[in-house]
Structures are given as C-alpha cells and as structure tokens.
Amino acid sequence: MSNRCALVTGGAGFIGSHVVDALIGDGWRVVIVDDLSTGDARRVADEATLEVVDITERAALESVFQAVRPAAVFHLAAQSSVTRSVADPERDCEINVRGTLNVLAGATQHGAPVVFTSTGGALYGNDAPLPTSEDALPAPISPYGASKWAGEAYVVTWREATGNPHAVCRLGNVYGPRQSPHGEAGVVAIFSHSLWRGESPTLFGFGKPTRDYVHVHDVARALLSAVGQAGVFNISTGIETAVSRIFELLRDAAAANVQGELAPLRAGELERSCLDPSRAYEQFGWRAEIGLEEGLAATYEALTAEFEPDRPPESG
C-alpha cells in the first residue's frame, strides 16, 4: 500500500464511505475521523482505520492529525440537516464552522491540501439564476446554508494565508447506495424505502421542487480529482429534475402501484436548484457520467438489498 495517507472526516457517512473506497482503490492509506453520530462503522472498509472523534473536540482531533500526518484531507463531517439547523442553529454552527476551523488547523500543521464539501442549493438560495455558477452571490435561507458558507470562507482564507491549494466542492443533491432513508436527507433513499415497503412517501412542495441529482460514485471521483486544485467548484450534472419525476422513476424501478402524498415545503427548503458544473471540467477534467434513469434504477436495487435486514416478519 502507498505511504500517501488521506484523512477523511465523516468517512463513515454516506458520501464519505464512498470517498474512502475510491481512495483505497487509488492506492491511498486512509484514516477516518467520525463520531458516528450519523455515520455507521459498518460502512468502513476493512483497509481503512477508524478514529471515533468529534471534530469539535480540538485536542482529540489534533492528536489524530499528529499521528497520521496526512498528505491530503477530505473534510465531509458536517451537520447536514436543513430542518435540524433551523431547530438548533447553535449546534449547526459549532459543527460546520468550529469543526471546520479545527480541521484547517490540523491540515495547516502538516501542509496538507483540504477538499471541503459544501452545499450547492442551500447556499445559493431561491433567487439565483439557473443553472447557477460559482460566481453567483450566496443567499442561504437556512442556518445550514449559512454555516456552510462560513466554513467555505474560512477554507478560502486559510488557502490565501498558507498557500495550501484547498478546494471547495459545492455538491448537488447526492444519491446512491448506502444513503439512509431515515430523517429528512436523501429523498431518493426515502422514496425507495417507502416503495419497498409498499407505502406512500410524502412529496414536499407538492412534488414541484427541483434539484440537481448527482450519483455518489461521480461525486467521489470528483473529490479525488479536486486534491491540490485551488478554487470553488460545483459538483453536479447541470440538469434540473423535479421531485415528482424522481418518484416516478423510482416507482418504475420498483414496479410499484403507489401514489405519493403531497404536502407543502418545510421551513428552509428551496423551491428550485440546479448547478453549473463547467468549471470542474475546465480545471480538472471532471464531469458526471452516470445518467439519472440508470443511476436511480441501480440505486433502488442496491438500497433495497441494504433494507432487507429491516423487513418486518410476515404474520401468520
């Protein structure tokens, strides 16, 4: 195995675990920092090392950095729930801002470039032109969007102060295997779980809100490509898709005869979002390769295999 070591915060999470797999496949040695509040140790590859540490605990995180001395840092650990950020903005800020500062401090000590995962839609707000470029002025409508913007500002400031080529990757709506159907995040996983159980999912915004859906395998590939690239990059497809269309495609994949329940949008949620990914292609040659219909069908199959242990026993 290579002597190159990557430190991945949030590496036991949905996206982070795929980044870990991609790094291992590329020959990296990987150490994961995750407090397992939303991550799952079962997602961690056998070849990786897991350190159960909260990024808001500065001393504990410093100890990991000192032991690992990483050549690159992938910072994915975050409070990523919009509605939870509305309910508890203080904790949202503590994780997404203070935690990011702690990660930057550790990376600076070892001269390691940071790839920071941020949000696209929640950052740009409802009034941005579509598809939205990285030059659009952020206008977040939730504490989550505000905290990620603040985290970005620190990443950029540390890049300018240290000369380390930190990258900010603003992700579209990521979907794929290992995504949890519980909570608000991950409409693809939520719909898949409901269809698998033969239940009607709720389509907030009456099915009309749009997002830019990008497969997690494409995202992991983008984050590895962003190492050493200084700048802010949208990681997305540039295609706007309504929630109702996602439900229809997943219903087809499930061969189900289920109707969705319509409901208004929740506080802090966007009406429309679509990101322009052209800068990532121009600077480091990345573009999304997995089409939505193909990606959703494969994701439904993978997720239902993961759901199987949760299937209720048959009565009788």
Q: What is the dihedral of CA 247, 180, 14, 235, to 10 degrees?
A: 30
Instruction: Please check the confidence at residue 62 and state whether its pLDDT lies above 70.
Output: yes
Q: Which two tokens stand for residue 91?
A: 């904790």
The strand pairing partners of 116, in sequence order, are 75, 168
Q: What is the dihedral of CA 304, 305, 310, 313, to 10 degrees?
A: 100
Instruction: Please check the confidence at residue 316 and state whether its pLDDT lies above 60.
Output: no
Instruction: Please check the confidence at residue 172 and state whether its pLDDT lies above 70.
Output: yes
Residue 215's pLDDT is 98
**How would residue 266 be classed by pLDDT, with cut points 50, 70 and 90?**
confident
pLDDT digits over 186-213, tens only?
899 999 999 999 999 999 999 999 999 9
Q: Where are the domains of the chain?
A: 5-174+215-235, 177-211+239-274+291-309
Mean pLDDT of 208-229: 97
| Percentage with pLDDT > 90 across the chain | 88
pLDDT mean across residues, the chain: 94
Mean pLDDT of 9-33: 98
Q: Which DSSP category does 309 fall into?
A: G
Residue 2's pLDDT is 60
Instruction: Please check the confidence at residue 1 and state whether its pLDDT lies above 60.
Output: no
Q: Which CATH superfamily is domain 5-174+215-235 in?
A: NAD(P)-binding Rossmann-like Domain (3.40.50.720)
Residue 189's pLDDT is 96
Instruction: Please check the confidence at residue 183 and state whether its pLDDT lies above 80.
Output: no
* 255 torsion bin: left (phi>0), alpha (psi -120 to 50), beta (else): left
Mean pLDDT of 305-315: 67
Helix pair 143-162, 99-109: axis angle to 10 deg? 20
Q: For residues 282 and 83, which has the higher predicted lDDT (pLDDT)? A: 282
The strand pairing partners of 31, in sequence order, are 7, 49
Instruction: Please check the confidence at residue 309 and state whether its pLDDT lies above 70.
Output: no
| CATH topology identical between 5-174+215-235 and 177-211+239-274+291-309 | no
Residue 240's pLDDT is 97
Q: Which CATH superfamily is domain 177-211+239-274+291-309 in?
A: UDP-galactose 4-epimerase, domain 1 (3.90.25.10)
Catalytic positions are 144
Those residues with Cβ within 8 angstroms of residue 244's Cβ, 6 or more apart along the chain or in another chain = 203, 207, 208, 260
Residue 311's pLDDT is 57
Range in 118-122, 284-288, 298-302 with the lowest mean pLDDT? 118-122
Residue 173's pLDDT is 95
Query: Identity (one letter) of the amino acid at 172?
Result: G
